[in-house]
Amino acid sequence: MANSSHLALQRRCHCQQDKMSILYHILNHKRHLHLPPCSCREKVALGSPFVAGRAASEVLLKTVNFIKNLPSFRGLSRGDQLLLLESCWAALFVLGLAQEGVDFEVVGPSKTSILKEILMRQRVEADGEERAGSQPTAAEVQRVKEFLAQCWNMDFSTKEYVYLKGVVLFSPDVSGLRCPQHILCLQQEAEQALMDHTQCMHQQDTRRYGQIKLSLASLRSISPDIVTQLFFRPLIGNVQMNALLVEMLSAS
């Protein structure tokens, strides 16, 4: 289901187009095989950063509230809570985008010069040199788009989203946890609930549970840095996401 902040993606990476089309062969022939370089490596930014940023902020707030309201999460030590939050917030956020039906438009470098000048001017000291905050590439953003499409194509139910978030949140592999075995048990409970639900609600689709689990691999390939640079850096500048998340978690 799409909300009022839903923005259609109007620009696709060249290398994702159907290269078997008649148009492709005509253009390919006329250019004598001298094709432009693949645009997957070009830097991109949100086409409407404030509109999409507002939707992203709402999803982030809902994500943190979801975590805070889980009794099993509140029962963990403060240290384990923070480690889990810092480790999985980006994956949970992307799941939230899918659940809320939030899509977004991106634009390439030819259209981002003004945005970079106005929104992304920042100074970061690194080894004595100044550098601007990096932007994600089209290929990196495409991973997010593809995961969202997977969720929407499979039409995840509310319970499937909830159980998936539990599987992602309770990761016993996070370094430094005080109670990894207990967290493993919580993850296994979420996995079992997800499997029971899919088998009950989709008895004719025996592959659904496996497909959902496979989607987690693509979700985990999405870097938190990419999520930060794409959705939040234009709004909050160099504010550290971990510090912001801790503040949100501590808020009543």
Which tens digit of pLDDT belongs to each residue from 207-249?
Answer: 999 999 999 989 998 999 999 988 988 778 777 899 999 999 9
3-state class (DSSP) for residue 165:
helix
With respect to residue 10, please indicate whether it lies within any of the assigned structural domains: no
With respect to residue 233, please indicate whether it lies within any of the assigned structural domains: yes
DSSP 6-39: --------GGGS-TTSHHHHHHHHHTTT-PPPPG
Whole-angstrom distance, CA of residue 245 vs CA of residue 152: 27
With respect to residue 90, please indicate whether it lies within any of the assigned structural domains: yes
* β partners of residue 125: 130
- E strand or H helix at 46: strand 45-46
Domain residue limits at 242: 44-250
Q: Judge whether 179 and 110 are in contact, CB under 8 Å.
A: no
Whole-angstrom distance, CA of residue 213 vs CA of residue 160: 11
Q: Give the CATH number, domain containing residue 230.
A: 1.10.565.10
Domain count, the chain: 1
Tell me the pLDDT tens digit for each residue of 6-50. Answer: 333 333 343 444 433 333 332 333 333 333 344 566 777 777 778
3-state class (DSSP) for residue 125:
strand
With respect to residue 23, please indicate whether it lies within any of the assigned structural domains: no
